[in-house]
Structure 1
């Protein structure tokens, strides 16, 4: 029996602004848009444009466009683009972070049935295996060194250490965090591109909502 994820249901789990916060984009308001640099393509702080009040082709509110990649899309597309993964994986990731784990996932008795344009198959997790890899982000970051590449990010040595950013074995590493502040994994900067980890760490406190300072 296969598993299906309802893209339309997933897009109702979080607004595009919430997804931008989850991705750590640090987007700034510019008129009716939010602007940020693209974590995959690079560019300045206006490269990635997010427009919350425009309806996507799927009908959800919120679209994005990356000037570097010359492509855009909806809420799921934003996560797929910024995490450098397919839309199916992005939808499942959103469902894991904002859903109850089942609300957007449905079963089907026919594994050969046709999948509609608004759905994609999602593989089931193997029974008896933990989803958390044997990886300690603090221990990994302890191996980092402060280099010119780190300094180019505008971080002092103390700031880089606090943010778990550094240079290791020929590559610059920066963390991606959940809204709770927990490290989801490390981006590896390679040949001008951001390479995501093979697996993402689970959020140990998925229901924690960070307190934002008032303007």
Structure 2
């Protein structure tokens, strides 16, 4: 496996995908980046199972944020949806929450998100640790169109990759039925016998 998809990584971390995506935007490009090295033609970076496991074990830390880690029991928390927009003058961010109704502005996205969370918790009458604001960033139309096209292509690429892997597996199974031994298949395909065995076992 080349790595985990965002949804798979979020599931292992016990975090909802939308919130996990936001958290990863804070980690990407830092020493806490959980992604695997980029591969040629890859449109959606995957996440390293080893790095993810270490991040979880260390308490899911965040870099230079208002808090030091992600709360563990995210399913027991209250989730509200927010929308983040970069201000027209380019000097800050606004985050709006519909329920409860909140609008905050700050000089960074992280700060605006943090303020919206504090105000929402106050309005809802709950502890800060009990609330998660799932923020969706609103991009300019032209860039949003590129991102959406990229997302669709990534989905198509993933479907093509899975189809290709299935064909390869069927080919290997056919060789086994034809009497080929695992070490012969491995030598012919440039793999190890152990990898052939893993593929046949569905790993």
Range into which the TM-score falls when normalised by the shorter chain: under 0.3
Using structure 1 for the length normalisation, give the TM-score.
Answer: 0.24
Using structure 2 for the length normalisation, give the TM-score.
Answer: 0.25
Structure scoring higher RCO (CA < 8 A, sep ≥ 6) equals 1
